[in-house]
Every structure is written in structure tokens, then in C-alpha cells.
Structure 1
Amino acid sequence: MSTTTTITEAESSLLKLTTLAYDKDISPRTTKLPALQPFAFRDRGLAADNGKPNLLPKDHPDIKATNLTPVIGTEIRGLQFSALSDTVQKDELALLIAERGVVVFRDQGFKGHRHRPSKRPLARTLARCISTQRTGTWGTAKCN
């Protein structure tokens, strides 16, 4: 016994559009970026003192550093992140981040906060989806 498959015109036109999108390079498959340029990198943590005497001074009772776990994470209280002025403190902070992975500054006074009290940004946020690739089809997605 044989089976017969009937293809309607709507299915046929959808198949043609999908094939056309792949065959004619209407939809981009890759994003072309300019070649990377070499640059000189200087790790600021390499110049820091391992004891971190400028970032976490022992004679300052208000500054406390607590390790969150034995391996990762440090919580710092009593030190304003915005008050780190000299490069020595920033170098020691870079070393601490490299050693602990995560550094949390508690009780920060955000003086330069730029958002309104309504928690909305000053400018309108713009987001656009150009295209999405799903299994076997290309299409455009609408972002809200």
C-alpha cells in the first residue's frame, strides 16, 4: 500500500522563503568585527604590597575586612570605595580582588547617584533585537 503526501500552497511558499533566506545570504550568519589590536597591559596588582597596609590599615579600628569563605570573597566595612584616591590603594585593591575573586564594600554613601527617586533612568533605554536564529528558520523578534 502506498501513501500520498499532499503539500498545500501555504506550506510550499513557507518552504521557499526559508530556503531563500539561507541560500541568498539575506540573513547574516556571522558578525564581522575589526581585527584586535595589540596593547600594553600592566597588572596593577603586581606593584602592590602583599600586606595591603594602605588599603586595610591595622591602626584604623573602623576598617574591618572579613573573609566570606575560606577561598573566595571578602567583605570590607568602614572604607568608602569612592575615597580610594592614590594609586597605592587601588593597586592593593587590585591585588585583593585577584586573590579573593569577590570584594564587597558595605555601607557606601553614593553621593554621585544619577537616578531620580522614582528609580527610572534619566534617559530612555533603547533595546532592539535584530534577528534570532532558531532551529531551521530565521526570523525577526520584537523586543518590548
Structure 2
Amino acid sequence: MGFSFKTVSVAADVTARYTLWSISEDPGNPIVLIVRPAAAPNMAFMNAAFKLASATRAGAGAAQLSAARLQMARAEVAELYAQHVIAGWENVREDGVPAPCTPEVVLRFLTALIQPPPDGRPDVFDELRTFCGNLDHFRPPTVAAADLGKG
């Protein structure tokens, strides 16, 4: 017998849509990120995160919390997200033209986002991290959308 959670597990190749309403200039065409989990199903992300954590722990002063250290940590995570979490996007413009979704361009976008206010919106980046780390956002709904409200 035993316990099994296979029916609620998340596949390795699953993605979710995350809309950045608070930084979208055109509500009719909001910025949408297509994201992979920043968690165990995404082993490329997890392996890179473990490697970063090991290197950070070995570095001098890593335990001292400061605004500069927080900014550095966001920059490190932004790099991981550019490589392993952001799989695509919609309505992202750079210099007025649609931006291709490449790791290099994603990193520029995230680097701009994590800058301290008023130039950036690090709070939006932190919300993105929370979303991507919650596997519930990557599971299929347990009730079909057509059945909601019936009964």
C-alpha cells in the first residue's frame, strides 16, 4: 500500500503564464512571462541553484545581510531565471520594438526590473519568484473551468 502523490505531481516540462499587470503600460496588451517552476521538477534550475548556493556559502561575508547583499542575491537569481525559468514572453518591448526572448535579453529585462526604485521594481521580481516557486501554479485545475459554479 503506502502513500503516492503522483496524481498531484508536476511534470518537468510544464509552464505557466504570469502576467505583469503592475508594470504593463498597455492594459490591453500586458506583459506575460511564460515560466517554468523554480523548484524540483525543473532540475536544470535546481542544479544551478545548488551550485550557486554552495559558491555563496563559501564566499566571505555571505551571511551578513545588507541592502547591497540583497541586490546581489537578486542579481544572482535573475541570472538563474534568465537561463532556466523564463521560457518565453509576450508584449515585452525593448527600445520600442518587440524583444526576442533569449537568455541575454531576459537577463537585461530582469536586471532592469531588480534595480532599486524609482528605476526598477524589485517587488515585482520578488512576486515573480514567489509565483515560480509555488508548484500549485503549475498543476492542472482539479475542477474543470466549465464545471465551476455548477452544483
Normalising by structure 2, what TM-score?
A: 0.21
Q: For CA contacts below 8 A with separation 6 or more, give which structure has more relative contact order.
A: 2
Structure with bigger gyration radius: 1
Normalising by structure 1, what TM-score?
A: 0.22
> Whose helix proportion is higher, 1 or 2?
2
